[in-house]
Amino acid sequence: MSLRLQSFKEYQEAQRTAKNDPDGFWDGIASQFQWIKPHHQTRSGSLQGGDLKWFVGGRLNITVNALDRHAIERGNQSAIIWEPNDPNHLGQTLSYKELYERVCDMGAALRASGVQKGDRVILYMPMTPELAVSVLACARIGAIHSVVFAGFSAQALADRIQDAGATVVITANEGRRGLKIVPLKSTVDEALEHCPTVQLVIVQRVTDSSCAMQVTRDVWFSEFLNRGTGLPCPAEPMDAEDPLFILYTSGSTGKPKGVVHTHGGYMVYTAYSFANVFQYERGDVYWCTADIGWITGHSYIIYGPLLNGATTMMFEGIPTYPGPDRFWAICAKHKVNQFYTAPTAIRALMCHGEAPVQAHDLSTLKVLGTVGEPINEEAWHWYHDIVGQQKCPIVDTWWQTETGGIMLSGLGSLSPQKPAHAGLPLPGIDPVLLNPDGTELQGDDVEGLLCISAPWPSIIRTTYGDHERCLNTYFRPYPGYYFTGDGARRDADGLIRVIGRVDDVINVSGHRFGTAEIESAINEASIAVESAVVGFDHPIKGQAIHAFVISESALDEAQKQVAIGDVLEAVEKGIGKIAKPARVQFVQGLPKTRSGKIMRRILRKIASGEFDQFGDTSTLLDPSVVDSIKIDAQTTWFTAP
Ligand code: WTA
C-alpha cells in the first residue's frame, strides 16, 4: 500500500486530480484497502442535503485493514509501544501479531457475552493498551464504541451513556496521572445509578486498590477475557456506512452531541491523511500525546497509524511527571521520529526553559506536529528551534471531531511552512472563506468564515439520534457548504491561518466546551440564579473561562468565597474539573437584548480587560447593567490559582 505523496509536485498533481475527478481520486485511495465487497458508487448525497454516503455498497471491517493485513505481513513489528505513567514501571510493546490476538480475544469475549453489531459500548478508561484493544475489539464485532474522556464527571458520563443507549461500559478501578489517582470505577457506579440500559461493566485493574464490584453486573477485565478463550473472532462484515463510533463533542447549544463516523470513509481518510501529514516511513516510531478520549487519539493514535502498519506510542501519564522533561525523555528512550502534541502542552513546557529539552538526545525527530487550537508564534518558534533544532518541519494540523481527519496542514517537509499557519488543504479538501452573508471571499489576503465546499470521505454523518441538529449546525447555515464554526485568514501566499471559533464554543487547552453547557452546570449551584460564560486569552491554556454569575442575594466578601466554591463545584459535578472557570464574578444583571439574548460580545470585552467601546448597545434592555459589571470587573473577581 502506498498512500504517501513524496514531493510537492506530487501533492499538486493529487490536488488537481481530486478537483477534476473526485470520484476517481478517492476510488484510487480506497482500492488500496481490503474490502469484502467493493463499492458500486463512490459517493451519494451532497453537502446541500447533508446526506453524504461514501463507498456505497462496499463491505469491509476496518480492523482487518488495521490488524489482520499487518499481522500476516509484518507480525513481529511493534504496533503499540506503551509508556506507563511511572517511568520506573514496566512498559509494554505489542507486536502486530500480539495486538491482533488480544483484540480477537476481547472481541470473542464481548460476542460471547451477547454484544452484537450495532450495540453501543462506552469506554471510560485510562491510557493503557487495554483501551486500544477495547476500541478495536468493538470495531471488530461491529459494536459502536464511544470513548468518554476519563476526566469527565459522573453526570457527564451518564448523559453520554443515556444518549447513546449503551449496554456495556468498560472502565478501570483507577487511573494514574502523575501523582494523582483518578477514581474511575466509583464514578462509573455513580453514573450508572441513572443508566438502566447498562447490563455489563468490565473493569481493568490498573492499581492495587480495591473497588466495589456488583456481582451480577461487574467483571474484571482479565476474567472477562476467559469468556472468549478458544473462540475465533472473525471480523464482522460491515457496510461501508455502518457506524464505527460515536464521539461526543460540545457545540454552541445544548448538550454535547454524538458525532458519528463510519467504517468505510473514516478508514480511507484517516489512513491517507496520516501517511501524508506525518510522512511516515516504515520502521519509524510515531508518537501522538493526545488522549484517546478525544478525536485526535482516535484518528492519530489508533486508526491512522495502525491502518498504515505504523508503530504508534501510547503514553499513560502527563508531560510534567516526574519532571518537566518527561516528553523529551520518552522521545529519546524510544527514538521517536514523529511527535504530535498540542500548543497548550508546548506553552506549558516552554515555561520550564530549554534545559529539560537539551538534557535529551532528540536527533531522531523528523516531523513535529500540533493540533487542537491556534499556535502562537512564540510557541511555534520554541518548538521549531529548541525541540526540533531547526531541522524538523512543523505540521500545524487544523481539523475537528466532525471532520474525522486532518484537513489543513503541511505534509512533512514537502509543503511551504509559515509560523502559526496551518497552510494548505490536503488533496481533495476544498476550504473557502465566506462573508457572513454567505458569499465567497475571492483572492488572497482575506479573512472570513471557514467552510468546506467539497465533500470528503470522513465527514460527520450525523449527530447520534438527532439528524436535524446535525443539519442545523453544519449544513444549513451556508447551504452547499460544510460550516466549521471557525474563522480564518488566507494570507497573501494563499496559506490559511485558523484564528478561532466564531460561535459560542470555548477552546480551553485544546478542549472544546459550549457556553450553554457550562452555564447549565453553573446554574445547578443553589446560589446561582443565572450565568453567562465567555472565553478570554490565557498564556498557557489558549483560552480560559470567565463566568458572570447572578447570585440569589447580595453577597459580602465571606459569602462570596463560599459561593465561588459552590459554583466551581457545580461545574466539576456537571462536566468535570477540566471545564472549571478560571474566574468567577458575581453580578447583579447580564447585558440582555430586549428579546432576552445575552450580548456576549460585551462580556468578552470586559473579560479581556477592555472597558470601553462596546459598540452599539442601543438594543440592550438595561444599558446600566454594563456599567455595574464593569465596575465589579475592575475591582473584584476570583482568579483560580
Ligand atoms: C480548533 C480537534 C487552530 C478549531 C482535532 C476547531 C485549531 C476545534 C487547530 C476542533 C489548529 C483544531 N489551529 N485551531 N491547528 N486544530 N483547532 O473537535 O477551533 O476537539 O474547530 O478537534 O479546535 O476541536 P476538536
> Ligand 1 centroid vs 562 CA: distance in angstroms?
35
Mean pLDDT within 568-588:
95
pLDDT score recorded for residue 636: 59
> Ligand 1 centroid vs 235 CA: distance in angstroms?
33
> Ligand 1 centroid vs 499 CA: distance in angstroms?
10
> Ligand 1 centroid vs 519 CA: distance in angstroms?
22
Residue 291 has pLDDT above 80, yes or no: yes
Are 371 and 408 in contact, with CB atoms under 8 Å apart?
no
List, in order of start, the domains of the chain with CATH numbers: 97-236 (3.40.50.980), 508-635 (3.30.300.30)
Mean pLDDT within 297-326:
98
Question: Which range among 228-232, 301-305, 333-337, 400-404 shows the weakest confidence by mean pLDDT?
Answer: 228-232
Q: What is the largest CA-CA distance in the chain?
A: 74
> Ligand 1 centroid vs 416 CA: distance in angstroms?
21
Mean pLDDT within 497-501:
95
pLDDT score recorded for residue 621: 86
- Of 255, 285, 479, 474, nearest in space to 365 by CA: 285
pLDDT digits (tens, 9 = 90+) for 418-439: 999 999 999 999 999 999 999 9
> Ligand 1 centroid vs 487 CA: distance in angstroms?
11
**If 0-12 CB within 10 Å is exposed, 13-18 middle and 19+ buried, where does residue 466 land?**
middle
pLDDT score recorded for residue 91: 98
> Ligand 1 centroid vs 331 CA: distance in angstroms?
25
% of residues, the chain, pLDDT over 90? 90
- Of 200, 223, 268, nearest in space to 34 by CA: 268
Atom from ligand 1 closest to the CA of residue 397:
15
Place 293 in a pLDDT band, splitting at 50, 70 and 90. Answer: very high
pLDDT score recorded for residue 324: 97
pLDDT digits (tens, 9 = 90+) for 27-76: 999 999 999 999 999 999 999 999 999 999 999 999 999 999 999 999 99
Backbone phi and psi for residue 378, each to the nearest 5 degrees, phi listed first: -60, -45
Question: Which residues are CB-neighbours of 256 under 8 A, at least 6 positions away?
Answer: 156, 159, 160, 248, 249, 250, 514, 517
pLDDT score recorded for residue 626: 86
Atom from ligand 1 closest to the CA of residue 422:
15
pLDDT score recorded for residue 189: 98
Atom from ligand 1 closest to the CA of residue 406:
5
| DSSP bridge pairs for 239 | 59
Mean pLDDT within 365-369:
98
Pairing of strands 144-147, 120-124: parallel
168, three cell numbers: 456495556
Pairing of strands 168-172, 200-204: parallel
Mean pLDDT within 526-535:
95
Q: Average per-residue pLDDT in the chain?
A: 95
Mean pLDDT within 200-221:
97
Q: Is any atom of ligand 1 closer than 6 Å to the C-beta of 298?
A: no
- In testing the pocket of ligand 1, which one of 269, 373, 499, 543 has its CB within 8 Å of the most ligand atoms? 373
Residue 164 has pLDDT above 60, yes or no: yes
Residue 253 has pLDDT above 90, yes or no: no
Q: Is any atom of ligand 1 closer than 6 Å to the C-beta of 486?
A: yes
pLDDT score recorded for residue 351: 96
Looking at per-residue pLDDT, the higher value among 401 and 556 belongs to 401
pLDDT digits (tens, 9 = 90+) for 441-455: 999 999 999 999 999
Residue 630 has pLDDT above 90, yes or no: no
pLDDT score recorded for residue 401: 98
In this structure, the residue with its CA closest to atom 6 of ligand 1 is: 400
Mean pLDDT within 598-625:
86
Q: Is any atom of ligand 1 closer than 6 Å to the C-beta of 401?
A: yes
pLDDT score recorded for residue 625: 86
Looking at per-residue pLDDT, the higher value among 119 and 615 belongs to 119
Residue 635 has pLDDT above 80, yes or no: no
Place 203 in a pLDDT band, splitting at 50, 70 and 90. Answer: very high
pLDDT score recorded for residue 639: 65
Mean pLDDT within 176-201:
97
pLDDT digits (tens, 9 = 90+) for 115-127: 999 999 999 999 9
> Ligand 1 centroid vs 507 CA: distance in angstroms?
8
Q: Is any atom of ligand 1 closer than 6 Å to the C-beta of 341?
A: no
pLDDT score recorded for residue 229: 86
Burial 41-60 (b: 16+ CB within 10 A, else e): ebbeeebeebebbbbbebbb
Question: Which residues are CB-neighbours of 570 under 8 A, at least 6 positions away?
Answer: 521, 522, 523, 524, 525, 528
Q: What angle do CA 584, 587, 589 make, to 5 degrees?
A: 135
Q: How far apart are CA 114 and CA 226, in angstroms?
A: 14
Atom from ligand 1 closest to the CA of residue 409:
15
Q: Is any atom of ligand 1 closer than 6 Å to the C-beta of 422?
A: yes
Residue 290: which H helix or E strand, with range?
none
Q: How far apart are CA 73 and CA 85, in angstroms?
A: 32
pLDDT score recorded for residue 1: 67
Q: Is any atom of ligand 1 closer than 6 Å to the C-beta of 270?
A: no
Q: Cα dist. 298→103, 167, 250, 331 in Å?
A: 16, 21, 17, 21
Atom from ligand 1 closest to the CA of residue 512:
20
Are 511 and 523 in contact, with CB atoms under 8 Å apart?
no
**If 0-12 CB within 10 Å is exposed, 13-18 middle and 19+ buried, where does residue 89 land?**
exposed
pLDDT score recorded for residue 640: 58
pLDDT score recorded for residue 257: 94
Cis bond upstream, residue 322 (ω within 30): yes
